[in-house]
Chain A
Amino acid sequence: MNNKGKRFRSLATRISAGIILFGTLVFVTVLGANYFLSRNLLEEYIGELARATASSTVREIETVFTTVATNADSLASVVTKADINEPQIHDAIKAFLKTNADIFGMTVALEPHVLHENIGEFSPYYYREQEAYGYANLADNSYRYLEWDWYRQPKSNRKPVWTEPYLDEGGGNVLMTTYATPIWRRDDNRFAGVATADISLGWLQKLVDNIHIGETGFGMIISEADIIVAHPDKQRNMLKLKSTLEAEFIRDYWDVYTSSKSASHATYFHAPCRHKPGDCWVAIEPLLDTGWKIVIVIPESELVSDIMILTLKITALAVIGLIILVMVILSVTHRLTSPLARLASVTKDIGEGRLNIKLPRPQRNDEIGELTNDFRLMRDSLEEHIDRLQETTAKKQKLESEIEIAKDIQMSMVPGGGTVSIIEATYQLYALLRPARSVGGDLYYFQQDDNKLHFIIGDVSDKGVPAALFMAKAVTLYAGAMNDGLTPGNTFTHMNQALAQNNDACMFVTALCGTLDLDSGELTIANAGHMNPLYKTSDTSGELPVEGSLALGLMDDVEYPNITHQLAPGSRLLMYTDGISEAFNPAREQYEEERLLAFVSNCPETKAESLGTATMQDVEAFVNGAEQSDDITLMVIQYGNA
């Protein structure tokens, strides 16, 4: 059933294996595609998210910074009024501070004696202090406002500045940045001082604290001088950017960024994270014209890990699905193929001859059901066939055994049972009968009666059982005629008369019969349609012509003449049937009378038996194994001794 060396695998297994393989392939492809597409989408999304977060943070800070700057600008313009006095400046500062909650503190610091001849160093500072307002005079000797950056930068640059963050010791005593805008004298545009507004950086800290993207995504604010203004880790605040760990992941880009023209534009890039493995998305956006930057950092892996988790979940679901699918397929294919397996096992039984085995019932009207039905038909017809065959075989065996018995009977009808060799002082005789089938139509017979040797050799037309029956009749007739002392010619006439009667089948016998006088050597012989005998003496050999008549059994009232020949002592007669002359070799050539005569003439054998057996050996050598096509009979008679 199995192929050589191949392990048996059921159809169910094969189908399941195929589907699992294909299903897994499809599943892996789809899932992989899904993963990579999602990942690409997410990467874009993360970049977008970083930018958007940076932008919105910038907008938020911008609003406050712009308001603060506008207020400071307005204060500066108020101060330049020609007739303003010191108390009015105090009131103006307090009024601006009161109306603007984003401002921590404000001052107007004047260049001594420029706006008014009589006003020297002047810098009243008002700031928020819990629910009230605090006041500090920055013009006292200890503060020395003229030396602070927030004063000197606008003065030297002749434009407003945002200072680097600083701790305002002696002022507001908080971490702050200050917007300082120059005040110009109206008539000659001479520098007359600065108006400032401070922003406490505490709210910036809150702002960056609220930026949560993924697990470790964060934002920070960096000043123009690359000082960290606000960072979720407060310990880093006020540190130089380049000295911090975070700086490292953007360091390569930071220098490029800050030195390029794009420093005034928003930018974002993808870079290896420094605070954890994987890549980060970084967005940098400048804050107005302050030179400050908002930096948003989002580690990609954290968001991508969500997709990994999703993919894993889908994989788990798909595996479960596949397992269920396989179980269903196994169950269905098993249901489908189990009749096949049963049929296969039944086939084995039938092959071993157990035909009465129970066949599986066809359960469904499908191909397998049809196969089962056909199988039943085949089994039934096989059973019938085998029954018939057994019956036929039995009949045949019976017939064969009958024929075997018939063969024994037939052979017992000829002297010697088919092979005989007689050596007497006055003659030698060798005879052989070899039917082509079990029984045949050839015959020989002889009998010594005092000094007479009577003999006959004959060949019934056709062969097999019909010929054998006819042969039996002929032998019986011959034996009867011989006992009546008839001459050979009369013997034939008598036999012919009996055989021709009611012979509708037109069976016939060709025969030679004769009587040899053992004293005188006189041979009386008659021929009924048979081949002439061959003779051989010590010095000559040839065909012995025996003129005769029609074969026995064909026509009524046929006369057969007696022919006489005188045999010299030592002469040999060789008589045969056409089983010898028409013996075929494998090339379908016949042995032929000529070859027989030539062989007999040249044969050095001197005994009747040895001549006969040598002749048979020559015929057998010629036939060379080809199937014997006709009955063979050979009779050699030697008169006296040579």
Chain B
Amino acid sequence: MPLEIEIHAEPNEGKRISLAGSLDTDTAPQLQDKIDQNIDSTVHMVIMDLKRLEFLSSAGLRVIFKLKKQMDSHEGKFMLLNLQPQVRKVFDIIKALEGMSVFKSQEEMDEYLAAMQNKVLDGDA
């Protein structure tokens, strides 16, 4: 099964990576290439939308962790969105979701982002 990768710009120097299909040993290098081309230290936020991701293997997990690590290194935000049950299970097994920002839906993420925004504003005030 192939992997479809779409990367769009988001507000606040953000990028949204939407994946569809299978992220496995064969397709993980494609995602890594796209990340290398599009995500650098100027990107402050990455939203990984896995709404249409049907299969995730450990090779794919590795690429996702690497991206998270990369974002952590310059204090960027990394968020996972719309994990399908079978994908969430893969994360759960390796206990990888602890310490990650995971949102079930766009609304939930928007609320979180708005809250963050307000917090920053309050702090400034």
What's the Cα separation between A47 and B24 when bound, in Å? 105
For window 6-28 of B, CB contacts with A under 8 Å fall at 24-25, 28
Q: How distant is B20 from chain A, measured CB to nearest CB, in Å? A: 16
From A461, A548, A588, A629, B62 is in contact (CB under 8 Å) with A461
* Chain A residue contacts of B120, Cβ below 8 A: none
Q: Mark A622-634, 1 if CB is under 8 A from B, else 0.
A: 0000000110000
Whether a CB of chain A sits under 8 angstroms from the CB of B112 is no
From A505, A506, A531, B93 is in contact (CB under 8 Å) with A531
B99/A462 in contact, CB under 8 A: no
Whether a CB of chain A sits under 8 angstroms from the CB of B69 is yes
What's the Cα separation between A505 and B66 when bound, in Å? 6
Q: How distant is A347 from chain B, measured CB to nearest CB, in Å? A: 40
B94/A530 in contact, CB under 8 A: yes
Q: Mark B80-110, 1 if CB is under 8 A from A, else 0.
A: 0000000000000111101100000000000
Residue of B nearest to A531 (CB): B93
* Chain B residue contacts of A504, Cβ below 8 A: 66, 69
B66/A462 in contact, CB under 8 A: no
Task: Count contacts on B: residues with CB < 8 A to the other chain.
Answer: 19
What's the Cα separation between A463 and B29 when bound, in Å? 13
Q: How distant is A167 from chain B, measured CB to nearest CB, in Å? A: 130
For window 422-478 of A, CB contacts with B under 8 Å fall at 459-464
From B1, B57, B65, A506 is in contact (CB under 8 Å) with B65
* Chain A residue contacts of B66, Cβ below 8 A: 504-506
What's the Cα separation between A627 and B69 when bound, in Å? 33
Whether a CB of chain A sits under 8 angstroms from the CB of B117 is no
* Chain A residue contacts of B113, Cβ below 8 A: none
From A464, A505, A550, B96 is in contact (CB under 8 Å) with A550
A554/B96 in contact, CB under 8 A: yes
Whether a CB of chain B sits under 8 angstroms from the CB of A213 is no
Whether a CB of chain A sits under 8 angstroms from the CB of B5 is no
Q: Report the interface size class on chain A.
A: 20 to 34
Whether a CB of chain B sits under 8 angstroms from the CB of A529 is yes
For window 497-520 of A, CB contacts with B under 8 Å fall at 504-508, 510
Whether a CB of chain B sits under 8 angstroms from the CB of A551 is yes
Given contacts A462-B25, A463-B25, contact A549 B95 (CB under 8 A): yes
* Chain A residue contacts of B28, Cβ below 8 A: 462
The interface centre, meaning the residue of A504, A506, A510, A528 with most chain B CB atoms within 10 A of its CB, is: A506
B58/A578 in contact, CB under 8 A: yes
Residue of A nearest to B99 (CB): A555
Whether a CB of chain B sits under 8 angstroms from the CB of A582 is yes
Whether a CB of chain A sits under 8 angstroms from the CB of B50 is no
B96/A630 in contact, CB under 8 A: no
Whether a CB of chain A sits under 8 angstroms from the CB of B59 is yes
From A463, A508, A510, B65 is in contact (CB under 8 Å) with A508
What's the Cα separation between A629 and B24 when bound, in Å? 10
The interface centre, meaning the residue of B59, B63, B95, B96 with most chain A CB atoms within 10 A of its CB, is: B95
Given contacts A506-B66, A506-B69, contact A462 B58 (CB under 8 A): yes
* Chain A residue contacts of B98, Cβ below 8 A: 550
From B1, B62, B95, A505 is in contact (CB under 8 Å) with B62
A529/B59 in contact, CB under 8 A: no
Given contacts A462-B25, A506-B65, A588-B1, contact A551 B59 (CB under 8 A): no
Whether a CB of chain A sits under 8 angstroms from the CB of B61 is yes
What's the Cα separation between A475 and B20 when bound, in Å? 35
What's the Cα separation between A505 and B1 when bound, in Å? 24
Q: How distant is B54 from chain A, measured CB to nearest CB, in Å? A: 10
What's the Cα separation between A462 and B23 when bound, in Å? 11
* Chain A residue contacts of B69, Cβ below 8 A: 504, 506
B93/A462 in contact, CB under 8 A: no
Given contacts A530-B94, A550-B96, contact A510 B62 (CB under 8 A): no
B93/A510 in contact, CB under 8 A: yes
B96/A529 in contact, CB under 8 A: yes
The interface centre, meaning the residue of B25, B66, B69 with most chain A CB atoms within 10 A of its CB, is: B25
B95/A461 in contact, CB under 8 A: no
Q: How distant is A47 from chain B, measured CB to nearest CB, in Å? A: 95
Q: How distant is B84 from chain A, measured CB to nearest CB, in Å? A: 14
B61/A508 in contact, CB under 8 A: yes
* Chain B residue contacts of A463, Cβ below 8 A: 25, 59
* Chain B residue contacts of A464, Cβ below 8 A: 25
A508/B59 in contact, CB under 8 A: no
What's the Cα separation between A461 and B95 when bound, in Å? 14
Given contacts A459-B58, A463-B59, A588-B1, contact A508 B94 (CB under 8 A): yes
* Chain B residue contacts of A548, Cβ below 8 A: 95
* Chain B residue contacts of A462, Cβ below 8 A: 25, 28, 57-59, 62
What's the Cα separation between A555 and B96 when bound, in Å? 10
Q: How distant is B118 from chain A, measured CB to nearest CB, in Å? A: 30
What's the Cα separation between A288 and B54 when bound, in Å? 126
Residue of A nearest to B98 (CB): A550
Given contacts A462-B25, A462-B28, contact A529 B94 (CB under 8 A): yes
* Chain A residue contacts of B63, Cβ below 8 A: 506
What's the Cα separation between A529 and B89 when bound, in Å? 11
A510/B1 in contact, CB under 8 A: no
B95/A508 in contact, CB under 8 A: no
Q: How distant is A425 from chain B, measured CB to nearest CB, in Å? A: 35
Residue of A nearest to B92 (CB): A529
Q: How distant is A525 from chain B, measured CB to nearest CB, in Å? A: 15
What's the Cα separation between A550 and B61 when bound, in Å? 13
Q: How distant is B40 from chain A, measured CB to nearest CB, in Å? A: 15
What's the Cα separation between A461 and B59 when bound, in Å? 5
A582/B57 in contact, CB under 8 A: yes
Q: What would be 26 A-B contacts, judged by CB atoms less than 8 Å apart?
A: A459-B58, A460-B58, A461-B62, A462-B28, A462-B57, A462-B58, A462-B59, A505-B62, A506-B63, A506-B65, A508-B58, A508-B61, A508-B65, A508-B94, A529-B95, A531-B93, A550-B94, A550-B98, A551-B94, A551-B96, A554-B65, A554-B96, A555-B99, A588-B1, A630-B25, A630-B57
* Chain A residues proximal to chain B, CB less than 8 Å: 459-464, 504-508, 510, 528-531, 548-551, 554-555, 578, 582, 588, 629-630
Across chains A and B, which 8 residue pairs bring their CB atoms closest together, nearest first? A529-B94, A461-B58, A462-B59, A506-B66, A551-B94, A506-B65, A461-B62, A550-B95
* Chain B residues proximal to chain A, CB less than 8 Å: 1, 24-25, 28, 57-59, 61-63, 65-66, 69, 93-96, 98-99
